[in-house]
Structure 1
């Protein structure tokens, strides 16, 4: 090794090249014990689980000191559960809510009894009713007191469960410690920059964190009336009102300034949707069905054609034909737009890692934001109807095809590309004849996921005026028509399956 190589470290007191020396350098403290334990783990034919007493006693603090953070969280959560059970049982406040209820009912019963006495003395007509009410309140108070006694009888059981959980946590930590530390040692051998030895600052921080977490959790669950600052998160209603008002103004300004652009986009999508829907619904149904079956046969084979015929028969016989074609028009328009935008963007991301890094947060935002949230700005900018539904579906359905296209291109073997370049392939030839064919399985998976994403938006888009089968599902939800909703939902599923099978084509052999 070169003397300036950062991996080459001077050894003090042992041979760096030996296995034992590596273990001693890694663990630093108590090295003889870990040399023996690591040797047992490596040499055993079957899995062995030597018990680490120090790890069992110190728990998450030991795990943090040794850098095994997975073990830290396992030990922390188990011990958290144990100490909360023990703390709640030891505090003796089980049934505190029932006790407060019993006291409240008792006071009400006494007050009602006094009213009944006064009414009886005055000869009032409601005296008997007041007596019955007082008896009912006293009965409810007795039932609440019985619940208190039942809850308090569980105190020994709760403490025992907490002690058992703590014992199990110590056992799990002790048995996992050496194996997890040995795995970390194996990683350290290939990555010497990993932290090794005992990290005292991290262990101190873990100790403080655990003590605070355990103490606050016990206080929260064991005390009958904990402080409000611990049970209620701090909030500022004025800030929320100010921010919402600002966002309202911003959306209004964007809608007003871009009214022309939004109108053009809405009109273009409406033109495509209306034309496709008119072509599908206006054509005689036998012709439309025959075209779909022929396409299924040519592109995907006889099995898919038979499945398509059965699915189309279901849609026609049960009266979903016209609405299914409207749904196909909506779903097809959204899917085509998603693919037209997503595949080129995925190709760009696959060949430009920096672009993909920059776009990844945007894709995460588009894919993780709840679908209903999309409808709010879409309605504000584009109104209601089918075009806003397509736009909301476009936002939700584009990320999968972008991600999987980029992933497929990044997985193309460099040796294949270098060979093509060595024979004088141009960039266009390299993309169309090498990269895309090799990445096609991943791209087709992205297309499949996009179609499914568009399918999931059909019902949601019906909330803002998009017609089709989603409207039937929405009506079934509103009027609790279970059968009708299931039939319409199955029709949506069949439409998506037909499109997906035809687009996927024949399976490659």
Structure 2
């Protein structure tokens, strides 16, 4: 048995004395933190040692010790607790319902007077006015009952506030040392992390609390707070003047650049006409066979079967022409995105300065709601299919740019150096080495661009792009639930067809 026993190697590991390091980190009250943090470092567990300063001071302790994330977390949580306490102690819980009851009663009184005058003159509306007044009086009575019920729940808010506040302080006092130990561990790796007890940080925290707590309590516990606390006290003229200035600029720019905008429209329209000739004007059996064969040859037989099934669904429901129009719009938008996006991605992969300038623009293109794009598009290009394509291009182009740049940046430098050693020119390196190795990333960007273009069909239909988006928009206007679901599923199948074909081609290349 003794031969099988394993030696205890842990006792041979020298223990590191962290006392001086902890004293340097903690500053004030260092003896307490030397003892506490050393034990936590040794055991790796949260000790049953309460941090009284954290328990009593709450978020102020967090700020003084540089735990700003913890400060904001507990400040917001304690504000919620204090608001509940305020509502329970002095809040007028039924004020809003009582004000509603007063308005209803006043309206009912006015209608009663109108009914009396109408009855005296023999007007037929007297009876309906009296009936409406009676209904308003009943609604006012219900509002008064709701106000009385709400006023009687003050004790629930009081108990909830007390319990929440106590629990928050309990959690902070219980786990403050453990959280402070995590900050200490991070500080050992990076001395720039906040350490010690800072009166400056404490003062900043107290000022923040002195502003946030009273204003928040006043806003949520008083039935009628002052208007400047609820609404920003600014003159509406700023908004009106800014809007008028922008509108004037759009009008002047549209007039000055009319030739450029007409040229862009003509170029996009020519691409649309060519694709419509192939997919919309051609006989539907020819188009169906063409799409199935493309899916088979580019991807696989399984993708071809799925494409055929999707086309059957679209055709049987009478959505063939709308679906082909949507595919044309998506195809044209994707064509321009790829035509412009891949060269830009190549440029950005070469120039860090250019990419640094373009990155915020790409962020804006993906962050701004698509509806906002429609405003300048309509101002410069009017309405119709071409403006819908242009709005789609703005929304869908960033992925192919980003992923092209990313794929080229990830090409191993050793491969490029080997090509240079064999005498390859920059163009040969780009076309024969870098682009083939970056193809997975580029194809992912193309796929994302296609799907994002298809997601714009409904929004683009708002400015006359038509297609399946028009079907969904009509269903929304007339609350035609069945029509909307069927058109939405057609959009889904179009997206899945395009995705399977693109991904299938990429998967086949990987398998080979």
Q: With the length of structure 2 as denominator, give the TM-score of the two structures.
A: 0.85
Q: What is the DSSP-based 3-state SS (H/G/I as helix, E as strand, rest coil) of the residue aligned with 1:235?
A: coil
**Superimposed CA distance per residue, residues 385-405 of structure 1 (whole angstroms, 9 cap, x where no aligned partner):** 111111000111111222233
Determine whether 1:227 maps to 2:216. Answer: no
Tell me, in whole angstroms, the C-alpha distance in 2 between the residues paired with 1:362 and 1:55.
45
Tell me, in whole angstroms, the C-alpha distance in 2 between the residues paired with 1:269 and 1:208.
58
* Contact kept? 1:71, 1:173, Cα under 8 Å: no
Tell me, in whole angstroms, the C-alpha distance in 2 between the residues paired with 1:227 and 1:30.
45
What's 2:456 paired with?
Answer: 457
What's 1:87 paired with?
Answer: 86
* Contact kept? 1:109, 1:138, Cα under 8 Å: yes
What's 2:60 paired with?
Answer: 61
What's 1:493 paired with?
Answer: 492
Determine whether 1:272 maps to 2:271. Answer: yes
Deviation (angstroms), 1:332: 0.5
* Contact kept? 1:277, 1:329, Cα under 8 Å: yes
Deviation (angstroms), 1:436: 3.5
Tell me, in whole angstroms, the C-alpha distance in 2 between the residues paired with 1:333 and 1:84.
55
Deviation (angstroms), 1:25: 1.4
Quickly say closer, same or farther: Cα 1:92–1:407, change in 2 above 3 A.
same
Deviation (angstroms), 1:458: 0.8
Deviation (angstroms), 1:272: 0.8
Tell me, in whole angstroms, the C-alpha distance in 1 between the residues paired with 2:84 and 2:435.
58
**Superimposed CA distance per residue, residues 130-156 of structure 1 (whole angstroms, 9 cap, x where no aligned partner):** 999998777666544433332222111
Quickly say closer, same or farther: Cα 1:308–1:353, change in 2 above 3 A.
same
What's 2:480 paired with?
Answer: 481
Deviation (angstroms), 1:196: 1.8
Quickly say closer, same or farther: Cα 1:423–1:18, change in 2 above 3 A.
farther
Tell me, in whole angstroms, the C-alpha distance in 1 between the residues paired with 2:303 and 2:474.
32
Segments of 5+ residues of structure 2 without an aligned counterpart are 1-15, 117-124
Quickly say closer, same or farther: Cα 1:330–1:144, change in 2 above 3 A.
closer
1:96-245 equivalences under 5 Å are 96-101=95-100, 143-245=142-244
* Contact kept? 1:299, 1:506, Cα under 8 Å: no
Deviation (angstroms), 1:209: 0.9
Aligned residues: 488
**Superimposed CA distance per residue, residues 409-457 of structure 1 (whole angstroms, 9 cap, x where no aligned partner):** 3444555555655665543344345443444333333222211211111
Q: Report the RMSD for the aligned CA atoms in angstroms.
A: 3.3
Tell me, in whole angstroms, the C-alpha distance in 2 between the residues paired with 1:325 and 1:141.
56
What's 1:361 paired with?
Answer: 360
**Superimposed CA distance per residue, residues 162-203 of structure 1 (whole angstroms, 9 cap, x where no aligned partner):** 011111221332344333332322222222223321232122
* Contact kept? 1:304, 1:501, Cα under 8 Å: yes
1:439-454 equivalences under 5 Å are 439-454=438-453
* Contact kept? 2:25, 2:184, Cα under 8 Å: yes
* Contact kept? 1:63, 1:71, Cα under 8 Å: yes
* Contact kept? 1:49, 1:178, Cα under 8 Å: no
Deviation (angstroms), 1:471: 1.4
Tell me, in whole angstroms, the C-alpha distance in 2 between the residues paired with 1:415 and 1:49.
56
Tell me, in whole angstroms, the C-alpha distance in 2 between the residues paired with 1:203 and 1:431.
57
Tell me, in whole angstroms, the C-alpha distance in 1 between the residues paired with 2:446 and 2:395.
13
What's 1:469 paired with?
Answer: 468
* Contact kept? 2:392, 2:456, Cα under 8 Å: yes
1:28-67 equivalences under 5 Å are 28-44=27-43, 51-67=50-66
What's 2:311 paired with?
Answer: 312
What's 1:373 paired with?
Answer: 372
Tell me, in whole angstroms, the C-alpha distance in 2 between the residues paired with 1:197 and 1:438.
51
**Superimposed CA distance per residue, residues 225-266 of structure 1 (whole angstroms, 9 cap, x where no aligned partner):** 211111122232222222222112111111111111111110
Tell me, in whole angstroms, the C-alpha distance in 2 between the residues paired with 1:410 and 1:458.
33
Quickly say closer, same or farther: Cα 1:197–1:408, change in 2 above 3 A.
farther
Q: With the length of structure 1 as denominator, give the TM-score of the two structures.
A: 0.86
What's 1:335 paired with?
Answer: 334
Tell me, in whole angstroms, the C-alpha distance in 2 between the residues paired with 1:414 and 1:390.
38
Q: What is the DSSP-based 3-state SS (H/G/I as helix, E as strand, rest coil) of the residue aligned with 1:282?
A: coil
Deviates more, 1:106-115 or 1:483-492: 106-115
* Contact kept? 1:49, 1:176, Cα under 8 Å: no
Quickly say closer, same or farther: Cα 1:114–1:397, change in 2 above 3 A.
closer
* Contact kept? 1:473, 1:484, Cα under 8 Å: yes
Tell me, in whole angstroms, the C-alpha distance in 2 between the residues paired with 1:188 and 1:418.
41
* Contact kept? 2:440, 2:506, Cα under 8 Å: no
